[in-house]
């Protein structure tokens, strides 16, 4: 299969590119500043926030291969902090990368797959796209947007032969933690005394989380499935349980449980 993956410099993207290439697929991956290159993977320099670069990346794959069988929207970033102290610029940037980055690629990928009469779109959301996470509100909002967009897209493409799958990872040990941009204003810490402890808890969960290679193995299996599920929560048992509890508990009870976990 011809597979295009966004954001293969590190973390999930790198692990997926390695695994899918090892599986025998022809893998293309976008990057902004890759330094270590995976043998057998074709790298395309493209920023997901740049319309022209996104279009050029898709066209490069088509000009070489004539088709795209699987598109994996993985590129993303996180901004942490109390929403009150998160700047409008940060809010725009968070959505531009995580949500609009996906929208830009799908704008050019969907027509290709629809004309082919087949294809698979795999978009990365998060458990944070299923529940609003305190002090990660901008990130959660961007992932909620992915959930809604893909739910609508799935129905629109229902009879086209194109499958739409959403991946909802929990905490993983990747460079995402170190690269997260956080609000550092002392006034934010004064106004929200729980912020520092909550952020420390979040970072501990991430740095001690599952390895990206585990997720890459799951994606490898999903790519091979004839009829994949609509979505996959890929996480520890405890985090999968939290998703179930979110669905079945009264909203105020679940919010109380989550607030306690984050020391609010």
For residue range 95-109, what is the model confidence (pLDDT) as tens digits?
A: 999 999 999 999 999
pLDDT at position 177, please? 62
Residue 1 near residue 223 (C-beta atoms within 8 A): yes
Domains of the chain, earliest start first: 2-261 (3.40.50.720)
pLDDT at position 178, please? 65
**Which residue among the candidates 28, 43, 93, 139 is catalytic per the annotation?**
139
Residue 122 near residue 219 (C-beta atoms within 8 A): yes
Residue with tokens 């390895």: 211
For residue range 170-187, what is the model confidence (pLDDT) as tens digits?
A: 988 776 666 778 787 888
Beta-strand relationship, 26-31 and 42-45: parallel
Please, what is the average pLDDT of the chain?
92
Two structure tokens written together for 255: 């919010």
Whether 139 is catalytic: yes
Q: Which of 1-5, 77-81, 234-238 has the highest mean pLDDT?
A: 1-5
For residue 119, with 0-12 CB atoms within 10 Å meaning exposed, 13-18 middle and 19 or more buried, which class applies? Answer: buried
Ranges 18-22, 173-177, 213-217, 243-247: which has the least confidence: 173-177
Mean pLDDT, range 68-84, rounded to an integer: 94
Beta-strand relationship, 231-234 and 70-73: unpaired
pLDDT at position 131, please? 94
Q: Is pLDDT at 35 greater than 90 in this prediction?
A: no
Label residue 217 by pLDDT band (50, 70, 90). Answer: very high
Mean pLDDT, range 13-18, rounded to an integer: 95
């Amino acid at each position: 299969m011809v597979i295009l993956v966004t954001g293969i410099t590190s973390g999930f993207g790198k692990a997926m590119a390695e695994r899918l290439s090892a599986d025998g697929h022809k893998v293309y991956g976008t990057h902004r500043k890759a330094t270590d290159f995976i043998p057998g993977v074709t790298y395309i320099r493209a920023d997901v926030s740049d319309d022209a670069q996104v279009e050029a990346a898709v066209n490069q794959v088509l000009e070489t291969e004539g088709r795209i069988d699987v598109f994996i929207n993985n590129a993303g970033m996180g901004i942490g902090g109390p929403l009150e102290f998160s700047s409008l610029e940060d809010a725009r940037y968070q959505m531009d990368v995580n949500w609009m980055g996906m929208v830009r690629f799908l704008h050019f990928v969907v027509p290709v797959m629809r004309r082919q009469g087949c294809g698979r779109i795999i978009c990365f959301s998060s458990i944070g796209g299923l529940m609003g996470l305190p002090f990660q509100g901008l990130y959660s909002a961007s992932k909620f947007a992915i959930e809604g967009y893909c739910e609508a897209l799935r129905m629109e493409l229902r009879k086209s032969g194109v499958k739409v799958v959403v991946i909802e990872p929990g905490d993983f040990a990747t460079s995402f933690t170190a690269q997260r941009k956080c609000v550092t204003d002392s006034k934010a810490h004064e106004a929200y005394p729980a912020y520092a402890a909550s952020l420390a808890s979040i970072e501990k969960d991430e740095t001690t989380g599952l390895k990206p290679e585990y997720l890459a193995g799951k994606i490898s299996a999903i790519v091979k499935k004839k009829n994949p599920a609509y979505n996959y929560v890929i996480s520890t048992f405890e985090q999968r349980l939290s998703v179930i509890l979110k669905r079945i508990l009264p909203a105020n009870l679940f919010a109380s449980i989550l607030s306690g976990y984050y020391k609010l």
